[in-house]
A and B are shown apart, each in its own frame.
Chain A
Amino acid sequence: MKAPVSTAVAIAVGLIVLLGFFVPIALLGNLRDVLLGWAAVVAGVAGLIGIINLVSSHWNKVFKAEKRDGYSLVVLLAFFATLAAGLWLTPAHPDFQKVVTAIQVPVETSLLALLAFSLAYASLRLLQRRKDLMSVVFVISAILFLFLFSGVLPLAGTIFGFLERLTLAGARGILLGVAAGSVMTGVRILLGADRPYSG
Protein backbone atom coordinates (compact mmCIF):
# COMPACT_ATOMS: atom_id res chain seq x y z
CA MET A 1 0.00 0.00 0.00
CA LYS A 2 1.17 3.52 -0.82
CA ALA A 3 1.98 5.67 2.28
CA PRO A 4 0.45 3.38 4.95
CA VAL A 5 1.02 5.76 7.90
CA SER A 6 -0.66 8.80 6.35
CA THR A 7 -3.47 6.57 5.01
CA ALA A 8 -4.05 5.15 8.50
CA VAL A 9 -4.05 8.66 10.04
CA ALA A 10 -6.47 9.94 7.38
CA ILE A 11 -8.85 6.99 7.85
CA ALA A 12 -8.74 7.33 11.66
CA VAL A 13 -9.40 11.08 11.55
CA GLY A 14 -12.18 10.58 9.00
CA LEU A 15 -13.86 7.95 11.18
CA ILE A 16 -13.60 10.10 14.33
CA VAL A 17 -15.13 13.12 12.56
CA LEU A 18 -17.88 10.98 11.02
CA LEU A 19 -18.77 9.22 14.28
CA GLY A 20 -18.47 12.50 16.20
CA PHE A 21 -21.19 13.91 13.94
CA PHE A 22 -23.57 10.95 14.15
CA VAL A 23 -23.00 9.38 17.58
CA PRO A 24 -23.88 11.48 20.65
CA ILE A 25 -20.80 10.65 22.76
CA ALA A 26 -19.16 13.72 24.34
CA LEU A 27 -15.60 12.44 23.85
CA LEU A 28 -16.14 11.87 20.12
CA GLY A 29 -17.83 15.24 19.74
CA ASN A 30 -14.96 17.05 21.48
CA LEU A 31 -12.36 15.19 19.42
CA ARG A 32 -14.26 16.07 16.26
CA ASP A 33 -14.33 19.77 17.18
CA VAL A 34 -10.57 19.79 17.91
CA LEU A 35 -9.76 18.05 14.61
CA LEU A 36 -12.03 20.37 12.61
CA GLY A 37 -10.38 23.35 14.34
CA TRP A 38 -6.96 22.09 13.27
CA ALA A 39 -8.25 21.55 9.73
CA ALA A 40 -9.55 25.14 9.61
CA VAL A 41 -6.15 26.48 10.74
CA VAL A 42 -4.30 24.33 8.18
CA ALA A 43 -6.72 25.48 5.44
CA GLY A 44 -6.07 29.12 6.40
CA VAL A 45 -2.30 28.64 6.19
CA ALA A 46 -2.79 26.78 2.87
CA GLY A 47 -4.66 29.83 1.57
CA LEU A 48 -1.68 32.04 2.44
CA ILE A 49 0.75 29.62 0.78
CA GLY A 50 -1.56 29.56 -2.25
CA ILE A 51 -1.30 33.36 -2.55
CA ILE A 52 2.51 33.14 -2.31
CA ASN A 53 2.40 30.48 -5.05
CA LEU A 54 0.24 32.78 -7.20
CA VAL A 55 2.65 35.70 -6.78
CA SER A 56 5.74 33.56 -7.42
CA SER A 57 4.12 32.10 -10.54
CA HIS A 58 3.50 35.58 -11.99
CA TRP A 59 6.94 36.77 -10.79
CA ASN A 60 8.51 33.96 -12.85
CA LYS A 61 6.43 34.92 -15.87
CA VAL A 62 7.67 38.50 -15.66
CA PHE A 63 11.30 38.06 -14.67
CA LYS A 64 12.38 34.51 -15.58
CA ALA A 65 10.32 33.25 -18.53
CA GLU A 66 11.74 33.42 -22.08
CA LYS A 67 8.52 35.01 -23.32
CA ARG A 68 7.75 37.71 -20.76
CA ASP A 69 4.13 38.35 -19.89
CA GLY A 70 3.00 41.96 -19.52
CA TYR A 71 -0.29 40.96 -17.91
CA SER A 72 1.58 39.24 -15.08
CA LEU A 73 3.32 42.55 -14.36
CA VAL A 74 -0.12 44.18 -14.03
CA VAL A 75 -1.15 41.38 -11.64
CA LEU A 76 1.97 41.91 -9.52
CA LEU A 77 1.57 45.70 -9.40
CA ALA A 78 -2.12 45.41 -8.49
CA PHE A 79 -1.35 42.78 -5.85
CA PHE A 80 1.38 44.78 -4.12
CA ALA A 81 -0.63 48.03 -4.28
CA THR A 82 -3.69 46.29 -2.76
CA LEU A 83 -1.52 44.59 -0.12
CA ALA A 84 0.15 47.88 0.87
CA ALA A 85 -3.17 49.75 1.00
CA GLY A 86 -4.78 46.91 2.96
CA LEU A 87 -1.96 46.86 5.51
CA TRP A 88 -1.97 50.66 5.80
CA LEU A 89 -5.74 51.27 5.96
CA THR A 90 -6.96 47.75 7.00
CA PRO A 91 -9.44 45.89 4.75
CA ALA A 92 -12.41 47.20 6.79
CA HIS A 93 -11.63 50.86 5.94
CA PRO A 94 -14.47 52.41 3.84
CA ASP A 95 -12.04 54.10 1.38
CA PHE A 96 -10.17 50.84 0.81
CA GLN A 97 -13.42 48.95 0.23
CA LYS A 98 -14.68 51.69 -2.09
CA VAL A 99 -11.57 51.56 -4.30
CA VAL A 100 -11.46 47.76 -4.43
CA THR A 101 -15.18 47.53 -5.21
CA ALA A 102 -14.94 50.27 -7.85
CA ILE A 103 -12.33 48.21 -9.71
CA GLN A 104 -13.55 44.68 -9.05
CA VAL A 105 -17.27 45.11 -9.80
CA PRO A 106 -16.90 46.60 -13.32
CA VAL A 107 -14.27 44.01 -14.26
CA GLU A 108 -16.43 41.11 -13.05
CA THR A 109 -19.53 42.58 -14.69
CA SER A 110 -17.63 42.81 -17.99
CA LEU A 111 -16.64 39.16 -17.67
CA LEU A 112 -20.29 38.24 -17.05
CA ALA A 113 -21.34 40.17 -20.15
CA LEU A 114 -18.69 38.29 -22.11
CA LEU A 115 -20.04 35.05 -20.66
CA ALA A 116 -23.56 35.91 -21.88
CA PHE A 117 -22.26 36.29 -25.46
CA SER A 118 -20.15 33.14 -25.18
CA LEU A 119 -23.10 31.10 -23.92
CA ALA A 120 -25.44 32.38 -26.63
CA TYR A 121 -22.86 31.40 -29.26
CA ALA A 122 -22.18 28.03 -27.58
CA SER A 123 -25.92 27.25 -27.53
CA LEU A 124 -26.14 27.96 -31.26
CA ARG A 125 -23.08 25.79 -31.89
CA LEU A 126 -24.43 22.96 -29.72
CA LEU A 127 -26.76 21.63 -32.41
CA GLN A 128 -23.87 21.54 -34.88
CA ARG A 129 -21.58 19.73 -32.45
CA ARG A 130 -23.96 17.24 -30.84
CA LYS A 131 -26.91 16.28 -32.99
CA ASP A 132 -28.87 14.29 -30.42
CA LEU A 133 -32.24 14.44 -28.66
CA MET A 134 -30.84 15.93 -25.45
CA SER A 135 -29.30 18.87 -27.29
CA VAL A 136 -32.57 19.61 -29.11
CA VAL A 137 -34.52 19.41 -25.83
CA PHE A 138 -31.92 21.65 -24.14
CA VAL A 139 -32.12 24.38 -26.79
CA ILE A 140 -35.93 24.26 -27.06
CA SER A 141 -36.41 24.40 -23.28
CA ALA A 142 -33.88 27.24 -22.93
CA ILE A 143 -35.74 29.31 -25.57
CA LEU A 144 -39.18 28.39 -24.15
CA PHE A 145 -38.31 29.24 -20.55
CA LEU A 146 -36.59 32.49 -21.56
CA PHE A 147 -39.67 33.47 -23.57
CA LEU A 148 -42.23 32.52 -20.92
CA PHE A 149 -40.53 33.69 -17.75
CA SER A 150 -38.53 36.74 -18.83
CA GLY A 151 -41.54 39.04 -18.29
CA VAL A 152 -42.11 39.80 -22.00
CA LEU A 153 -45.56 38.21 -21.80
CA PRO A 154 -47.23 39.62 -18.66
CA LEU A 155 -49.42 36.64 -17.64
CA ALA A 156 -47.29 33.84 -19.08
CA GLY A 157 -45.43 33.33 -15.81
CA THR A 158 -48.69 32.75 -13.95
CA ILE A 159 -50.40 30.61 -16.60
CA PHE A 160 -47.40 28.41 -17.36
CA GLY A 161 -46.02 28.44 -13.81
CA PHE A 162 -46.65 24.68 -13.58
CA LEU A 163 -43.84 24.19 -16.13
CA GLU A 164 -41.36 25.33 -13.51
CA ARG A 165 -42.06 22.11 -11.62
CA LEU A 166 -40.32 20.25 -14.46
CA THR A 167 -37.08 22.13 -13.86
CA LEU A 168 -37.44 21.71 -10.11
CA ALA A 169 -37.95 17.95 -10.44
CA GLY A 170 -34.96 17.64 -12.79
CA ALA A 171 -32.75 19.72 -10.50
CA ARG A 172 -33.70 17.64 -7.46
CA GLY A 173 -32.98 14.44 -9.38
CA ILE A 174 -29.51 15.67 -10.33
CA LEU A 175 -28.82 16.88 -6.79
CA LEU A 176 -29.80 13.48 -5.35
CA GLY A 177 -27.34 11.84 -7.75
CA VAL A 178 -24.67 14.33 -6.68
CA ALA A 179 -25.40 13.59 -3.01
CA ALA A 180 -25.09 9.83 -3.59
CA GLY A 181 -21.81 10.44 -5.44
CA SER A 182 -20.50 12.62 -2.60
CA VAL A 183 -21.24 9.89 -0.07
CA MET A 184 -19.44 7.33 -2.24
CA THR A 185 -16.43 9.63 -2.59
CA GLY A 186 -16.30 9.91 1.21
CA VAL A 187 -16.58 6.14 1.56
CA ARG A 188 -13.73 5.60 -0.94
CA ILE A 189 -11.51 7.98 1.05
CA LEU A 190 -12.51 6.34 4.35
CA LEU A 191 -11.61 2.94 2.90
CA GLY A 192 -8.30 4.25 1.56
CA ALA A 193 -9.19 3.58 -2.11
CA ASP A 194 -8.83 7.29 -2.97
CA ARG A 195 -5.89 9.10 -1.39
CA PRO A 196 -5.73 12.79 -2.33
CA TYR A 197 -2.47 13.11 -0.34
CA SER A 198 0.97 11.59 -0.88
CA GLY A 199 2.18 11.08 2.70
Chain B
Amino acid sequence: MSVEKLIGLGIVVICVALVFLFSILKRPGTSLRTIPAVQKLRRAIGLAVEDGKRIHVSLGNANVLEPQGASALVGLSVLERLAEVSTVSDKPPVATSGEGSLALLSQDSLRSVYRESNQLEQYNQHLGRLAGPTSFSYIAGSLPVIKDEEVYTNVLIGHFGPEAGLMCEEAERTNGFSLAASDSLPAQAVFFAAAQEPLIGEELFALPAYLQSSPMHQASVRAQDVVRGVLIGVLVLGGLARLVLAFLGTGF
Protein backbone atom coordinates (compact mmCIF):
# COMPACT_ATOMS: atom_id res chain seq x y z
CA MET B 1 0.00 0.00 0.00
CA SER B 2 1.43 3.41 -0.96
CA VAL B 3 2.00 6.12 1.67
CA GLU B 4 -0.69 8.37 0.13
CA LYS B 5 -3.30 5.62 0.34
CA LEU B 6 -2.27 4.79 3.90
CA ILE B 7 -2.68 8.46 4.90
CA GLY B 8 -6.05 8.60 3.11
CA LEU B 9 -7.33 5.49 4.88
CA GLY B 10 -5.99 6.87 8.17
CA ILE B 11 -7.92 10.14 7.67
CA VAL B 12 -11.16 8.24 6.96
CA VAL B 13 -10.70 6.00 10.02
CA ILE B 14 -9.92 9.03 12.22
CA CYS B 15 -13.03 10.84 10.90
CA VAL B 16 -15.25 7.82 11.69
CA ALA B 17 -13.69 7.52 15.16
CA LEU B 18 -14.22 11.25 15.82
CA VAL B 19 -17.87 11.07 14.76
CA PHE B 20 -18.48 8.13 17.12
CA LEU B 21 -16.53 9.84 19.89
CA PHE B 22 -18.46 13.11 19.62
CA SER B 23 -21.82 11.35 19.40
CA ILE B 24 -21.02 9.43 22.62
CA LEU B 25 -19.51 12.42 24.43
CA LYS B 26 -22.36 14.80 23.59
CA ARG B 27 -22.62 17.20 26.50
CA PRO B 28 -26.10 18.57 27.27
CA GLY B 29 -26.51 22.26 26.47
CA THR B 30 -23.71 22.40 23.91
CA SER B 31 -24.83 23.61 20.53
CA LEU B 32 -23.30 24.32 17.15
CA ARG B 33 -21.90 27.76 16.39
CA THR B 34 -24.48 30.11 14.92
CA ILE B 35 -24.65 30.58 11.15
CA PRO B 36 -26.88 33.64 10.51
CA ALA B 37 -27.73 32.41 6.99
CA VAL B 38 -29.31 29.25 8.42
CA GLN B 39 -31.45 31.28 10.85
CA LYS B 40 -32.65 33.43 7.94
CA LEU B 41 -33.36 30.26 5.92
CA ARG B 42 -35.56 28.94 8.74
CA ARG B 43 -37.46 32.23 8.77
CA ALA B 44 -37.81 32.17 4.97
CA ILE B 45 -39.19 28.61 5.09
CA GLY B 46 -41.74 29.69 7.67
CA LEU B 47 -42.77 32.69 5.56
CA ALA B 48 -43.10 30.54 2.43
CA VAL B 49 -45.29 28.00 4.23
CA GLU B 50 -47.47 30.71 5.84
CA ASP B 51 -47.94 32.61 2.56
CA GLY B 52 -48.72 29.48 0.57
CA LYS B 53 -45.59 29.98 -1.53
CA ARG B 54 -43.21 27.35 -2.79
CA ILE B 55 -39.69 26.30 -1.74
CA HIS B 56 -37.31 25.70 -4.63
CA VAL B 57 -34.20 23.57 -4.10
CA SER B 58 -31.66 23.69 -6.89
CA LEU B 59 -29.26 20.76 -6.66
CA GLY B 60 -26.66 21.73 -9.25
CA ASN B 61 -25.27 19.61 -12.03
CA ALA B 62 -22.81 17.26 -10.33
CA ASN B 63 -22.59 13.65 -11.35
CA VAL B 64 -23.02 11.56 -8.20
CA LEU B 65 -20.23 9.25 -9.39
CA GLU B 66 -17.66 12.08 -9.40
CA PRO B 67 -15.97 13.82 -6.44
CA GLN B 68 -18.31 16.81 -6.79
CA GLY B 69 -21.17 14.40 -6.04
CA ALA B 70 -20.60 14.97 -2.30
CA SER B 71 -22.14 18.45 -2.54
CA ALA B 72 -25.10 17.01 -4.47
CA LEU B 73 -25.65 14.39 -1.76
CA VAL B 74 -25.68 17.19 0.82
CA GLY B 75 -28.26 18.95 -1.36
CA LEU B 76 -30.44 15.82 -1.32
CA SER B 77 -30.28 15.67 2.49
CA VAL B 78 -31.29 19.33 2.66
CA LEU B 79 -34.10 18.73 0.15
CA GLU B 80 -35.48 15.88 2.26
CA ARG B 81 -35.45 18.01 5.41
CA LEU B 82 -37.04 21.03 3.69
CA ALA B 83 -39.72 18.78 2.18
CA GLU B 84 -40.48 17.37 5.65
CA VAL B 85 -41.03 20.80 7.16
CA SER B 86 -43.09 22.07 4.23
CA THR B 87 -45.51 19.17 3.75
CA VAL B 88 -48.18 21.28 5.48
CA SER B 89 -47.80 24.00 2.85
CA ASP B 90 -50.36 24.43 0.06
CA LYS B 91 -47.57 24.38 -2.51
CA PRO B 92 -45.21 21.40 -2.40
CA PRO B 93 -41.46 22.08 -2.76
CA VAL B 94 -39.89 21.74 -6.17
CA ALA B 95 -36.36 20.48 -6.91
CA THR B 96 -34.43 21.21 -10.08
CA SER B 97 -31.19 19.57 -11.13
CA GLY B 98 -28.84 19.51 -14.09
CA GLU B 99 -28.05 15.81 -14.09
CA GLY B 100 -30.31 12.80 -14.71
CA SER B 101 -29.32 10.68 -11.71
CA LEU B 102 -29.68 13.68 -9.42
CA ALA B 103 -33.18 14.34 -10.79
CA LEU B 104 -34.17 10.73 -10.06
CA LEU B 105 -32.72 10.88 -6.54
CA SER B 106 -34.58 14.15 -5.88
CA GLN B 107 -37.85 12.49 -6.99
CA ASP B 108 -37.08 9.56 -4.72
CA SER B 109 -36.37 11.84 -1.72
CA LEU B 110 -39.57 13.84 -2.23
CA ARG B 111 -41.63 10.69 -2.75
CA SER B 112 -40.33 9.11 0.46
CA VAL B 113 -41.17 12.24 2.45
CA TYR B 114 -44.76 12.31 1.13
CA ARG B 115 -45.14 8.56 1.67
CA GLU B 116 -43.98 8.82 5.29
CA SER B 117 -46.31 11.71 5.98
CA ASN B 118 -49.24 9.75 4.41
CA GLN B 119 -49.70 12.37 1.70
CA LEU B 120 -48.55 10.37 -1.30
CA GLU B 121 -51.43 11.76 -3.39
CA GLN B 122 -49.79 15.23 -3.11
CA TYR B 123 -46.63 13.96 -4.79
CA ASN B 124 -46.06 14.05 -8.53
CA GLN B 125 -42.92 13.26 -10.45
CA HIS B 126 -42.60 16.78 -11.85
CA LEU B 127 -41.71 18.09 -8.39
CA GLY B 128 -38.23 16.70 -8.93
CA ARG B 129 -37.19 17.57 -12.44
CA LEU B 130 -34.25 17.78 -14.77
CA ALA B 131 -34.14 21.46 -15.76
CA GLY B 132 -31.51 20.95 -18.45
CA PRO B 133 -28.68 18.52 -19.16
CA THR B 134 -25.92 21.12 -19.76
CA SER B 135 -24.77 23.88 -17.42
CA PHE B 136 -26.46 26.75 -19.29
CA SER B 137 -29.60 24.84 -20.24
CA TYR B 138 -29.93 23.92 -16.57
CA ILE B 139 -29.91 27.60 -15.59
CA ALA B 140 -32.25 28.51 -18.47
CA GLY B 141 -34.65 25.75 -17.38
CA SER B 142 -34.54 26.79 -13.71
CA LEU B 143 -35.27 30.50 -14.23
CA PRO B 144 -38.96 29.94 -15.22
CA VAL B 145 -39.43 27.82 -12.08
CA ILE B 146 -38.31 30.73 -9.88
CA LYS B 147 -40.34 33.24 -11.89
CA ASP B 148 -43.60 31.44 -12.68
CA GLU B 149 -44.18 28.84 -9.96
CA GLU B 150 -44.81 31.15 -6.98
CA VAL B 151 -41.48 30.42 -5.36
CA TYR B 152 -40.42 32.48 -2.35
CA THR B 153 -37.52 30.50 -0.84
CA ASN B 154 -34.70 29.44 -3.14
CA VAL B 155 -31.99 27.12 -1.83
CA LEU B 156 -29.13 26.57 -4.27
CA ILE B 157 -26.94 23.80 -2.93
CA GLY B 158 -24.59 21.59 -4.93
CA HIS B 159 -22.03 21.95 -7.68
CA PHE B 160 -22.59 24.99 -9.91
CA GLY B 161 -20.69 27.15 -12.35
CA PRO B 162 -20.61 30.95 -12.14
CA GLU B 163 -23.71 31.08 -14.39
CA ALA B 164 -25.79 30.15 -11.31
CA GLY B 165 -25.60 33.84 -10.39
CA LEU B 166 -28.48 34.32 -12.85
CA MET B 167 -30.72 32.23 -10.58
CA CYS B 168 -29.87 34.43 -7.58
CA GLU B 169 -30.63 37.50 -9.70
CA GLU B 170 -34.03 36.05 -10.69
CA ALA B 171 -34.79 35.32 -7.02
CA GLU B 172 -33.95 38.95 -6.19
CA ARG B 173 -36.20 40.16 -9.01
CA THR B 174 -39.17 38.16 -7.73
CA ASN B 175 -38.60 39.53 -4.16
CA GLY B 176 -37.72 36.03 -2.99
CA PHE B 177 -35.13 34.72 -0.59
CA SER B 178 -31.97 32.96 -1.79
CA LEU B 179 -29.46 30.90 0.14
CA ALA B 180 -26.65 29.58 -2.01
CA ALA B 181 -23.77 27.21 -1.35
CA SER B 182 -21.40 25.40 -3.67
CA ASP B 183 -18.19 23.39 -3.55
CA SER B 184 -16.90 25.25 -6.61
CA LEU B 185 -14.73 28.35 -6.02
CA PRO B 186 -16.05 30.43 -8.98
CA ALA B 187 -19.63 29.73 -7.90
CA GLN B 188 -18.84 30.71 -4.29
CA ALA B 189 -17.41 34.03 -5.48
CA VAL B 190 -20.50 34.70 -7.59
CA PHE B 191 -22.85 33.67 -4.78
CA PHE B 192 -21.08 36.00 -2.36
CA ALA B 193 -22.05 38.91 -4.59
CA ALA B 194 -25.39 37.74 -5.95
CA ALA B 195 -27.11 35.61 -3.29
CA GLN B 196 -28.83 37.07 -0.28
CA GLU B 197 -27.26 34.50 2.04
CA PRO B 198 -24.14 32.74 0.75
CA LEU B 199 -22.41 29.87 2.56
CA ILE B 200 -18.64 29.72 2.10
CA GLY B 201 -16.38 26.68 2.10
CA GLU B 202 -17.26 23.80 4.39
CA GLU B 203 -20.43 25.51 5.70
CA LEU B 204 -22.18 23.79 2.78
CA PHE B 205 -21.41 20.38 4.27
CA ALA B 206 -22.58 21.45 7.74
CA LEU B 207 -26.04 22.51 6.53
CA PRO B 208 -27.76 19.10 7.04
CA ALA B 209 -26.55 19.13 10.66
CA TYR B 210 -28.10 22.57 11.21
CA LEU B 211 -31.42 21.45 9.73
CA GLN B 212 -31.56 18.00 11.38
CA SER B 213 -30.43 17.94 14.97
CA SER B 214 -29.58 14.23 15.20
CA PRO B 215 -26.56 13.43 17.43
CA MET B 216 -24.69 11.88 14.48
CA HIS B 217 -25.09 15.02 12.35
CA GLN B 218 -23.96 17.31 15.16
CA ALA B 219 -21.02 15.01 15.88
CA SER B 220 -19.99 15.07 12.21
CA VAL B 221 -19.85 18.90 12.25
CA ARG B 222 -17.71 18.87 15.39
CA ALA B 223 -15.44 16.25 13.80
CA GLN B 224 -15.27 18.39 10.64
CA ASP B 225 -14.12 21.36 12.75
CA VAL B 226 -11.44 19.21 14.42
CA VAL B 227 -10.17 17.93 11.05
CA ARG B 228 -10.08 21.49 9.73
CA GLY B 229 -8.15 22.64 12.81
CA VAL B 230 -5.64 19.81 12.40
CA LEU B 231 -5.19 20.67 8.71
CA ILE B 232 -4.56 24.34 9.59
CA GLY B 233 -2.05 23.26 12.25
CA VAL B 234 -0.20 20.97 9.85
CA LEU B 235 -0.06 23.70 7.18
CA VAL B 236 1.22 26.36 9.61
CA LEU B 237 3.81 24.00 11.11
CA GLY B 238 4.88 22.89 7.62
CA GLY B 239 5.27 26.53 6.56
CA LEU B 240 7.28 27.39 9.68
CA ALA B 241 9.48 24.32 9.27
CA ARG B 242 10.18 25.27 5.67
CA LEU B 243 11.02 28.84 6.71
CA VAL B 244 13.40 27.68 9.44
CA LEU B 245 15.10 25.19 7.13
CA ALA B 246 15.43 27.87 4.46
CA PHE B 247 17.17 30.13 7.01
CA LEU B 248 19.46 27.30 7.98
CA GLY B 249 20.23 26.82 4.31
CA THR B 250 19.19 23.17 4.10
CA GLY B 251 15.68 23.32 2.63
CA PHE B 252 13.44 20.34 1.88
Contacts and interface: CB of A to CB of B under 8 A. Distances in A.
A46 B166 contact: no
Nearest to A142: B193
B67 to A, nearest CB: 7
A122 B173 CA distance: 11
Contacts of B166: 111, 114-115, 118
B19 interface: yes
B193 A48 contact: no
Given A49-B100, A111-B163, A115-B162, A187 B15 contact: yes
Contact of A46 (B104, B136, B168): B104
Given A69-B144, A187-B220, A181 B70 contact: yes
B65 A39 contact: yes
Contact of A182 (B70, B80, B139, B206): B70
Interface stretch (A52-60, A91-99, A147-155, A157-165): A52-60
B133 A188 contact: no
B208 A138 contact: no
B217 A122 contact: no
A23 B103 CA distance: 33
Contact of A187 (B12, B80, B126, B131): B12
Interface stretch (B42-50, B182-190, B241-249): B182-190
A43 B74 contact: no
Name the residue among A175, A178, A181, A184 with the largest chain B CB count within 10 angstroms.
A184
A54 B9 contact: no
B200 interface: yes
Interface of A: 2, 18, 21-24, 36, 39-40, 42-43, 46-51, 53-54, 56-57, 60, 69, 71, 107-108, 111-112, 114-115, 118-119, 121-123, 126, 129, 138, 171, 173-178, 180-191, 193-194, 196-198
For the complex of A and B, the 4 pairs showing the least CB-CB separation, nearest first, are A50-B100, A181-B205, A198-B112, A47-B100
28 contacts: A22-B5, A43-B64, A43-B65, A46-B100, A46-B103, A53-B103, A108-B136, A115-B163, A118-B166, A118-B169, A118-B194, A119-B194, A122-B168, A175-B185, A176-B231, A178-B201, A178-B202, A181-B70, A181-B202, A182-B71, A184-B227, A188-B208, A188-B217, A188-B220, A191-B19, A191-B216, A196-B73, A196-B77
Interface of B: 1, 5-6, 8-9, 11-12, 15-16, 19, 63-65, 67, 70-71, 73-74, 76-77, 80, 99-101, 103-105, 107-109, 111-112, 115-116, 125-126, 129-133, 136, 139-141, 144, 148, 162-163, 165-166, 168-169, 172, 183, 185, 188, 190, 192-194, 196, 200-202, 204-206, 208, 214, 216-217, 220-221, 223-224, 227-228, 231, 235
Given A174-B185, A196-B77, 15 more contacts: A18-B12, A47-B99, A50-B103, A51-B100, A51-B133, A54-B141, A122-B168, A126-B192, A138-B192, A174-B201, A177-B228, A181-B205, A184-B227, A188-B216, A191-B216
